[in-house]
Amino acid sequence: EDQVTQSPEALRLQEGESSSLNCSYTVSGLRGLFWYRQDPGKGPEFLFTLYSAGEEKEKERLKATLTKKESFLHITAPKPEDSATYLCAVSFVTSGSRLTFGEGTQLTVNP
């Protein structure tokens, strides 16, 4: 069964303290890996798509990377406004365009 696992479940950082979130998936044919940000009471907001190992995408303080078994979302010098739940999702060759989501990492950045 295709699975997506995110760690840690929750992460507290001080403003400016860089860290990384992890998303691992069962290796059964990756079509694409997606990162989303979700604020409380809102729908997920699309951030990045990664298609192949070695690929990297950047947006402001966020950088997403992909290997054959996992993806990292690196947060450099975070600010309180980066506090949110970050979701990882994967589309597998066996499931077409359907996405399988991880349970998310709840990030809190304290000033």
Partner 1 sequence: NAGVTQTPKFQVLKTGQSMTLQCAQDMNHNSMYWYRQDPGMGLRLIYYSASEGTTDKGEVPNGYNVSRLNKREFSLRLESAAPSQTSVYFCASSTRFRDEQFFGPGTRLTVL
The rounded distance, in Å, linking the Cα atoms of 5 and 23 is: 6
Q: Which of 31, 61, 63, 74 binds partner 1 (CB under 8 A)?
A: 31
Q: Which of 25, 34, 72, 86 binds partner 1 (CB under 8 A)?
A: 34
Query: Which residue, 59 or 79, is less far from partner 1 as judged by CB?
Result: 59
How many CA within 13 A on the CB side of residue 50?
A: 26
The distance of closest approach from Cβ of residue 91 to partner 1 in the complex, given in angstroms and rounded to an integer, is: 4
For residue 94, the SS3 value is helix
The rounded distance, in Å, linking the Cα atoms of 28 and 92 is: 7
Binding footprint of partner 1 on the chain (CB under 8 A): 31-32, 34, 36, 41-46, 49, 87, 89, 91, 96-99, 101-104
